[in-house]
Amino acid sequence: MKPLAIITGGTKGIGLAIAQKFAAEGFDLLINARSANDLSQTKNKIESSFGNHCEIFQADLSKKNEAKAFCEFALSLERPIQVLVNNTGTFVQGSLMQETDEALETQINTNLYSAYWVTKGLIQTIKESPNSHIFNICSIASLQAYPSSGSYTVSKFALLGFSKSLREELKDDGVKVTSIMPGATYTSSWEGIDLPKSRFIQSEDIAEITWTAYSLSSAALVEDIVIRPLAGDI
């Protein structure tokens, strides 16, 4: 039986690139997204390209009941979970004192609680699985505030705190936890911007460094990965 990797937000950008990389390395997949159409297309693409089995589950993980349903589905597969990538996220531009009241709540629910609920729902199986590794896709905004990114920064600081706390709690169980802090990465959210694609990190860069961190010996852990565009932040 092939090992299983679970990637949330796995149909676009960083999540899709990571899913494709782990499929190429021999993993079966369970991916989640909100769009049933995107999930179906991604499943077909991965299975036809790599010959791996790809399970899909439609859910909005910012909602607790849907996150729990996703976990129940994952557990129903009765597979060891060796890799969990908490990639679900959203960005709402705005400053803390001028944005809508809902901006912080939306981004905390999506960027933090999705990872919290999914990890908590799957943790026992993860603990029981060999070579298990949790990756939390944080942000360069987990380390410093940026203009017009008020609530996003708050949510990503919180996700990094969650990731570091999880690292301390799980080390005695042999579960690795890595926080990844990408700078501007070229995804659909940047389409239309008047900058060349070469100015950005590529999603495949994040996938490669995720795989590299996973493939180290069982005695070694990369706790934090910071990756920025060569020319600096955007």
pLDDT truncated to tens, each residue of the chain (234 aa)?
Answer: 789 999 999 999 999 999 999 999 999 999 999 999 999 999 999 999 999 999 999 999 999 999 999 999 999 999 999 999 999 999 888 899 999 989 999 999 999 999 999 999 999 999 999 999 999 999 999 999 988 889 999 999 999 999 999 999 999 999 999 999 999 888 876 766 778 888 899 999 999 999 999 999 999 999 999 999 998 888
Superfamily name and number for 4-227: NAD(P)-binding Rossmann-like Domain (3.40.50.720)
Tell me how far apart the alpha carbons of residues 23 and 49 are, in angstroms, rounded to a whole number.
9
15, two tokens:
């999540």
DSSP single-letter state for residue 111: I
Tell me how far apart the alpha carbons of residues 178 and 212 are, in angstroms, rounded to a whole number.
12
